[in-house]
Structure 1
Amino acid sequence: MVFKVVIAALAAGAQLSSAFEKPAAPAQGMRLIKTSEEDPGQWIFKEDKYTMVKSKGGCTHYIDITNIEDDFVLERLSAKYRAAAQKVVEYPDTLSHVEEAQSFISSAGTKGPQLGLEHLSSYHNRHCESETGTEAANWLFEKVQSFASANAAITVEQFPHSDFDQPSIIARIPGNNENLVIIGAHFDSTTGRPSAAAPGADDNASGTVVVLESLRVLAQGGFKPENTLEFHWYAGEEIGLVGSADVFANYRAAGKAVLSYVNQDMAGYSPSGTPAIITDYTDSDLNAYVKLLVTEYTGQAPSEDSCGYGCSDHASADANGFPAAFLFEDLTDQTSPYIHTVNDTLDTIMWDAVERHIQFSIGYLVEASYL
């Protein structure tokens, strides 16, 4: 079903004017952030970025654009109405691999994710620039390697970043072509102060273990995809999406064909029992496909909501012209009230919500591998 409309999408992107110009930095060591399309950019000191990440009610979303030099990306980050993503696939309106996907889902569970989440949230601080943040990255890298070892074809790499020590992590199950189907989650956490405890159980150890369990099941089950599958764990989401911005900038520069990216950020708190598809800064066609997958593999139709500018890593995929979707744990006003505080702990996690996200994620990876 793959067909090429990339050239048209690139042409549309080329028509964007390069009107956005970064303001000059007033001093060394400062970072340039944007809080909206209209925001021309604000230079602040690195440590001041943390103070902008407050409790849920006072959280300010922003994107760190200091290292972004691509005019295409800068224009998309400054345009309310952006060109369509670089579509290289037509998403189906029916599912054709349900039995196969369900066979893998039957091997999934929450016991492993519970142990993983407990381990991740036990770190007193997982900021991307802290010593324990690097320890968390190393623990996760070793865990990913351990699961990947079930299939010799799977590769695992750390993706370094120039501005902070914590690397992102990428695992890859090669397919019969290089088209990419990606699922990702960030694994850093914060409470708004670099020195404060930041357990981050829901935000975002929950999404981290969802992606991890999906890898474990498909690796141990010997799944052989048609399209190449990638599992991403991003550093630095809480300080302006810097990890995912670097990864997707690299993919854009390399000309990689991303069929779909699905974000898993907060999967462990859902009072309504119904996940939500985020409709802003995502691809409407991919969203329709995700809705189909959620309905099939969780047994219920998802709700819809928006989460605002720069709220999570799907915005990085979208800014680089790749089709992105984001399945959230619930409507935004019903998600965990404990995020970005010392109370975002293991005992607040609703494991039925995590299980739904795991079921969806495995279903998505299996189905989309045949796009």
Structure 2
Amino acid sequence: MPYDTPLEDQPLTHPDKRHPPSPATRVATKKREERRTPPDELAAALVESVSADSLRSTVEALSAFHTRHTFSPLIGPAAEEIVTRLAAAGYPDVVRRGWANGGHSADNVICTKPGTSADKPVIILCAHYDSRMEDANNATARAPGADDNASGVAAILEAARVLAPVALSSTVQFVAFSGEEQGLWGSAAYAAALHATGTEAYRVLNLDMVGRPPADGSVTVERDLGNAVPGNDAASQALGAVMAQAAADHTALPVMLGPIYASDYMPFEAHSDVTIGAYEGEGNPHYHRTSDTPATLDYDYLADITRITLATVAVAALTD
């Protein structure tokens, strides 16, 4: 089903996670010894349920597609794989929503977990599922895209699995975008559609390349530092601080703070939404290569990224 709001044709620009607009900096966040609030208690329970084996299963299933290039006929079956896994986790509301741009079309996958309160911001937990080779227009070459970005999708699906039986006051959407590698086409379409009939501000947590740790084993928490709507910076940085604290409380990951850039949170930021991301940082030699395979990932690291994401959602869903 196509979006009701048409997506204007955009120039073909290729996001590149290797070149942030400003460097990430190390932050010293200490583990809290006492965490007795309901959100903290929920977060502590959720992180115990994360399975590295479940994450590996999703990465291997998505990487088994010869390619997930947006222009490939395999993009549809890849979307259906995600639908199937979300349905198996117990979600009845999973849909494929189509978009069109420049003579091309594909689907985003949207899974909605209704919240118990209608007056809290919707949380969007998202990642892109398309992949590519160095030649962004080559839709036939082998492109397993294990780290970029089956890793992010796996974390989203694992978070959905863990959260399935949990009552949250905020509605949470788990969204997998196509068209990211062509210039954020899928996320631009979805952000426009969400805001076409209202002005609600969403909380957007994006995961793009979270399966291969850098040499120092850190995670980069990405926050909004200016961009199209400076007025949402403070809320983004506050939510980023929640994620940084979650890393200290529930993992041993060192935390870097960096900017949001070149991924699917950007169209939402332009609509005034509060956006953050998690990212492994620069340095993956397999970026946009056939060698970006499941064997190159660290599934304990990916599990930790999933844990800090779950903890952040728990806090945001109960306290915002």
TM-score range, shorter chain: 0.7 to 0.9
Residue 256 of structure 1 and its aligned partner are, at CA, apart by 5.4
Aligned residue identity for 2:75? G
Which residue in the other structure is 1:21 paired with?
none
Alignment-derived partner of residue 158 in structure 1: 96
Q: Which residue of 1 aligns with 2:256?
A: 303
Alpha-carbon deviation of 1:299? 4.0
Distance 1:194 1:261 in 2: 29
Partner of residue 120, structure 1: 62
Deviation at 1:290, TM superposition (A): 2.5
What is aligned with 1:284? 237
Q: Write out aligned runs for 1:309-328 (5 A).
A: 311-328=262-279
Normalised by the length of structure 2, the TM-score is 0.80
Query: 1:31 Cα deviation (Å)?
Result: 5.3
Give the conservation status (yes or no) of the 8 Å contact 2:217–2:254: no
- Runs of 4+ deviating beyond 4 Å: none
Supply the distance in 1 between the matched residues of 2:201 and 2:304 (Cα, whole angstroms). Answer: 25
Query: Which aligned pairs between 1:54-69 and structure 2 lie closer than 5 A?
Result: none
Alignment of 1:74-153 (within 5 A): 96-149=38-91
CA gap 1:234/1:176 in 2 versus in 1, 3 angstroms: same
Counterpart residue type for residue 298 of structure 2: M
Which amino acid in 2 is paired with 1:181?
A: I
> Relative to 1, partners in 2 of residues 1:278 and 1:101: Cα closer, same or farther, differing over 3 Å?
closer
Matches within 5 A, 1:1-371: 32-33=10-11, 49=12, 96-149=38-91, 155-163=93-101, 164-178=104-118, 179-191=121-133, 192=135, 193-219=138-164, 222-255=165-198, 257-271=200-214, 272-279=216-223, 280=225, 281=227, 283-306=236-259, 308=261, 311-330=262-281, 332=282, 334=283, 336-370=284-318, 371=320
TM-fit CA distance, 1:354:
0.3
SS in 2 for 1:289: helix
- Higher CA-based Rg: 1
What letter is aligned with 2:297? I
- Residue identity opposite 2:117 in structure 1: N
**In structure 2, the residue corresponding to 1:177 is in which secondary structure?**
coil
Does the 8 Å CA contact 2:260/2:277 hold for their aligned counterparts?
no
TM-superposed CA distance for 1:285, in Å, is 2.9
Alpha carbons of structure 1 residues 285 and 104: separation in structure 2 relative to 1, 3 Å: closer
In 1, the alpha carbon distance for the partners of 2:160 and 2:20 equals: 32
Partners of 2:169 and 2:70 in 1: how far apart? Answer: 34
Aligned residue pairs total 281
- The percent of aligned pairs where both chains have the same amino acid is 26
SS of match in other structure, 2:100: coil
Bigger relative CO (Cα 8 Å, ≥ 6 apart): 2
Please list every run of 5 or more consecutive structure 2 residues that lacks an aligned counterpart in the other structure: 1-7, 22-35, 228-232
Give 1:135's aligned amino acid.
P
Structure 1 counterpart of 2:30: none
Aligned-partner residue type, residue 208 of structure 1: V
Shift in Å, 1:166:
2.4
Provide the rounded CA distance (Å) in 2 between the counterparts of 1:53 and 1:289: 27
Is the 2:204–2:276 Cα contact (8 Å) retained in structure 1?
Answer: yes
